[in-house]
Amino acid sequence: MSHPDIRPATAADISDILRLVHDLAVYEKEPDAVEATEEDFAAALFPAKGVPTAFCHVAEAGEGRERQVVGIALWFLTFSTWTGRNGMHLEDLFVEPRHRGSGLGKALLTELAGECRERGFRRLEWSVLRWNAPSIAFYESLGATPQTEWETYRLDGDALDL
């Protein structure tokens, strides 16, 4: 059952999604790292042609006309060759600081976990910065376990010119 304050994002939410991504960058001590634009999010989440390459759920708070987007869970599909099934990679989970502790973060994860079950997906995975103790404690309180045997690698920018 869906939480009343959680819903799939719509194109009308793009400016709020980008605002919250900027807020997340500040929280993660990378305030100038966001290069994405509203057009980038529109192309990924709501493309004019083809299928989306990313998906987003939003959390809302407030009443009536004062209702606003205060949290996001932005994700994309993964595939496991071992299970032969898709999964979800949660790229960003962010709830505005003033709404933390309200249950919206858990509701966003619960919504994604439910969607995984409905679609027959086997995994919901994400990464967390090692210094982010509050988030780690939150995830572990939900039963999530760290995958410490794996190390993340990345080719970025000019390194892609192999």
Q: Cα–Cα distance between 3 and 28 in angstroms, integer?
A: 27
Catalytic status, residue 139: yes
Q: Cα–Cα distance between 53 and 1 in angstroms, integer?
A: 25
Residues 6+ apart with CB under 8 A from 100: none
Q: Cα–Cα distance between 10 and 32 in angstroms, integer?
A: 26
Active-site residue identified among 75, 94, 121, 139 = 139
Residues 6+ apart with CB under 8 A from 22: 31, 34
List active site positions: 139
